[in-house]
Structure 1
Amino acid sequence: MRRNSVPARPAELAAVDTSTPAVVLKLDRNVFHHGGLGVIRSLGRLGVPVHTVCEDPLAPAAASRYVCGRWRWNPGVDDPHRIAAGLALMAQRIGRRAVLIPTDDAGALFLAEHGAPLRQWFLFPAPPPDLPRRVADKYELHLLCREWDVSTPQTMVPTSPSEARDFASQVGFPLVVKQIRPWCPTYPAGSPSTRLVRTPEQFAALMAGWPDGPGCRGTPGLMLQEYVPGDAGADWFFHGYCARDSACRPGFTGVKLRSYPPHAGLTSLGRAVDNEPLRREVGRLLTGLSYRGLLDLDLRRDARDDRYRMLDFNPRLGAQFRVFEDAAGLDVVRAAYLDLTGQPVPEEQPCPDRRLVVENYDLLAALGYRRRGELDLRGWVRSLRRMDETAWFARDDLAPFGLMWLRSGWRAFRRPFRPAARDPVGTAPRYRPGPARNRIPAPRAVTGQHRPIDTTTSDGK
């Protein structure tokens, strides 16, 4: 593996005004979320003061040398008033307007639907308020794709095991089972949001545990989707940023080489591959929807007709976004920061052939592919010989990498004995200075120009 060296600040971005802080908002309690660390490093290397929300003091991303402030906070996802109140406290401590970057669906939906009162203190895009929820909802996305004549797999939401069995008989196996709204807390802890059911026997076992109650907001919790046949390079992803005019600049395409869980999960090994026809197709959809902000799409090229089927639309940052960086040093997070702070975004340049590996997840993915007879040790090692980006390891920022492996080992050790303790929902954000506090000018004190934020929700609660 070619380890990434200490990155220099790109010449094209040398004149960027980095005085505006950035806040990485994470409501999902996944301590191994590598996307937030990518944001911290991407902006921190430019000199931006970066604050991050973390689960506990030993969260790996919070140990980055580029973190200016750490906020230990667990607000949950079901109370907009609580989230707004916590962000108000953060804004008062930071003392100046900051760019706010959500890294999960719950955070993106909150900002779209309840974020208006926070705009006096935070900078973030303003998509149509109902659009992020429509595209993040797996079944609503299917209906939206049909409305816009975008290819999507056959999909249904069964209301009974018998309907599910009928659909499985119609489309055959393998079969994809998805949580409709994976950001909701109604699903069992640790359950995968997407599962690939390969045999009728596995499907029968799933039916035996079919949920009796409704999912989030009264809708069924699971949906079924046909498995789209394709070759080894069939899984594609699209990362982009849409400004106020909904034009996607930049927009990048890549191929998912491995995923965890295998064939049905997040990217553990990805490669940047330019696909101009796909970029144009996605760009037309985003403009038509009047979408604004960061986005992450998953698509699969169907071997039956060579068309791309839309699988997922995440209205926020994609965790593997650092696989893309063009020749000017521009990635989607840097583009968002420049746009939201009123600075010109450099013209998009071709993205070189880059590869990214997520070390902890790719190890687990490789074991899964090996069990299926799709990968051996030699093939796995050979696939890691040239990496342009590693999610955790960085020569200039080693602490997150070491802490990630320590926590992975501790989690594996303690899992048979008892579940991990978690902070109670509702704890107010607690500030701790980060390692970068001495390298970045301290924020100004709060002055009278900042008015108290009205944290009431749209329904007055």
Structure 2
Amino acid sequence: MLPFDTTTPAVVFKLDANVLHHGGLGVIRSLGRVGVPVYAVHEDSLAPAAHSRYVRGRWLWSPDPTENGLILEGLAQLAKRIGRPSVLIPTDDAAAIFLAEHGGALASYFRFAQPPRDLPRQVAGKYSMHELCRQLDVPSAEATLIGAWDQALDFADKVGFPLVAKLSAPWLPRKGKLRSTMIVGNADELVEVYQRCGPAAVGGLMLQEYIPGGRGHDWFFHGYCDAASVCRPAFTGVKERSYPAHAGLTSLGRCEDNDELLREATTLLEKLAFSGIVDLDFRWDARDGRYKLLDFNPRLGAQFRLFRDSAGMDVALASYLDLTGQQIRAGRQPVGRRFLVENYDPISALRYWRRRELGLRSWLASVRRVDEVAWFARDDLLPFVLMCTWMVCRAVARPWRRRIRHPELAEPQYVPGRNHDSGNPTRRRRERLFEEYR
């Protein structure tokens, strides 16, 4: 890779309370390995990504994503602490929506992509994305927004079971153990989902037809669009396994060429005048021979490290270069490259095995062919160790676990990272331990 200017800091920005978000760690490593000073927002002092060797500094901060004024104040504090303009990279829907709608007040502090103000909320919303697809004649699955229980029954009678239940605004805080996407196999399961949603089901729950799938039917597109909506780089890949099975995040992905899908995705992004990093999910529908758009994520996809082209570009690095006024070098996508998420794929594989869709030998063979994993890295081991610790603790505490935010982290608290530049490294290590555990 040719050298470029890495003096501008980057900030990894998230509002979601998921402590095991591997996409943020991918950004930290991607930029940190080429010499960019990387800062990050984390919701817990023991968040695995917060302890990457490539983090220059981190803010322990878990604001309510609906408190826009407090988030603006907090980001301004972060910017003043850094002391110079920085590139701001959102890694979840809430952060991307916030920047599009309120980021103007931060323009003197940060450089970030600026899509049309209302677009990220529109495409991240499950039913509003469905309506947009209908307006633009983009193939998508049949769907309805639930207004009453009778409407749910009517839709189920129309499309049949199984069907897919999705929270229409998955970035908003929610109570209980509701997943943002759930496969509903029969009427009893539909009753259970509706009751678990409670009053939020009315206007907050979308039902979607289940498109029959199979091996090689689930695809995704990752890209970075500049201010003119030119998408470069742009990648396509196959979702080999997901968690939960057939209805969740990618646990094993493979990079594959798909010119038709690439053309459809880039045409859509140009029509929308989209700018920034994007992650789109499609399913091939054998009934009519078309790719149906299932999800539009107006931010970085967690598995983006699957795609790193022959010029060394991934979407995080491309975003950094473009926002700092540098050239994005063209390269070829790495066909056949595989990416695995260690904490989810074994669980996912077990569910595929129960469905008789995967055997032990085929799973082991797929794991051996992996080129990169989400957490383990020889040059950055601590995040992997902490991820394993979190998974064990979650398994033990699952019956009592509640998803809550830390009220003491409503305002950002700065802690130097492992990559902090200090004249006395030994003393700084002691100080960091004191700051974290006092």
Distance 1:105 1:420, change over 3 A: closer
Q: Is the 8 A contact 1:64 1:397 kept in 2?
A: yes
Structure 1 counterpart of 2:199: 212
Deviations 1:44-89 (A, max 9, x none): 0000000011112211001110000011001110011000100010
Counterpart check, 1:198 vs 2:185: yes
Distance 1:110 1:418, change over 3 A: closer
Structure 2 counterpart of 1:273: 256
Q: 2:208 is matched with which residue: 215, 221, 225?
A: 225
Cα distance in 1 for partners of 2:191, 2:394 equals: 31
Structure 2 counterpart of 1:27: 15
Cα distance in 2 for partners of 1:103, 1:437 equals: 23
1:430-445 correspondence runs (5 A): 430-438=413-421
Unpaired runs of 5+ residues, structure 1, are 1-10, 441-461
Cα distance in 2 for partners of 1:338, 1:36 equals: 18
Comparing 32-41 with 150-159, which one deviates more in the overlay? 150-159
Greater helix share, structure number: 2
Cα distance in 1 for partners of 2:270, 2:403 equals: 44
SS at match of 2:101: helix
Counterpart check, 1:332 vs 2:320: no
Cα distance in 1 for partners of 2:353, 2:65 equals: 37
- The percentage of aligned residue pairs carrying the same residue is 56
Structure 1 counterpart of 2:39: 51
Q: 1:99 is matched with which residue: 87, 99, 114?
A: 87
Structure 2 counterpart of 1:64: 52
Q: 1:310 is matched with which residue: 293, 297, 322?
A: 293
Which of the pair has the greater relative contact order for Cα pairs under 8 Å at 6+ separation? 1
Deviations 1:113-148 (A, max 9, x none): 000010101000111101111101111101111111
Residue identity opposite 1:340 in structure 2: L
1:11-410 correspondence runs (5 A): 11-12=1-2, 15-185=3-173, 187-209=174-196, 211-213=198-200, 220-410=203-393
Structure 2 counterpart of 1:447: none
Cα distance in 2 for partners of 1:210, 1:400 equals: 34
Structure 2 counterpart of 1:427: 410
Q: Is the 8 A contact 1:327 1:352 kept in 2?
A: no
Residue identity opposite 1:80 in structure 2: N
Comparing 413-422 with 165-174, which one deviates more in the overlay? 413-422
SS at match of 1:359: coil
SS at match of 2:151: helix
Comparing 305-314 with 416-425, which one deviates more in the overlay? 416-425
> How many angstroms does 1:189 deviate by?
4.0
Distance 1:259 1:111, change over 3 A: same
Distance 1:213 1:422, change over 3 A: closer
Distance 1:338 1:210, change over 3 A: closer
Residue identity opposite 1:23 in structure 2: V
> How many angstroms does 1:210 deviate by?
5.2
What TM-score do the two structures reach when normalised by structure 2? 0.93
> How many angstroms does 1:343 deviate by?
0.5
What TM-score do the two structures reach when normalised by structure 1? 0.89
Cα distance in 2 for partners of 1:214, 1:227 equals: 19
Q: Is the 8 A contact 1:356 1:388 kept in 2?
A: yes
SS at match of 1:268: strand
Structure 1 counterpart of 2:435: none
> How many angstroms does 1:264 deviate by?
0.6
Residue identity opposite 1:21 in structure 2: P
Cα distance in 1 for partners of 2:208, 2:215 equals: 20
Distance 1:43 1:439, change over 3 A: farther
Comparing 320-329 with 200-209, which one deviates more in the overlay? 200-209
Structure 1 counterpart of 2:428: none
Q: Is the 8 A contact 1:240 1:294 kept in 2?
A: yes
Deviations 1:216-253 (A, max 9, x none): xxxx1101110112321110000001001101111100
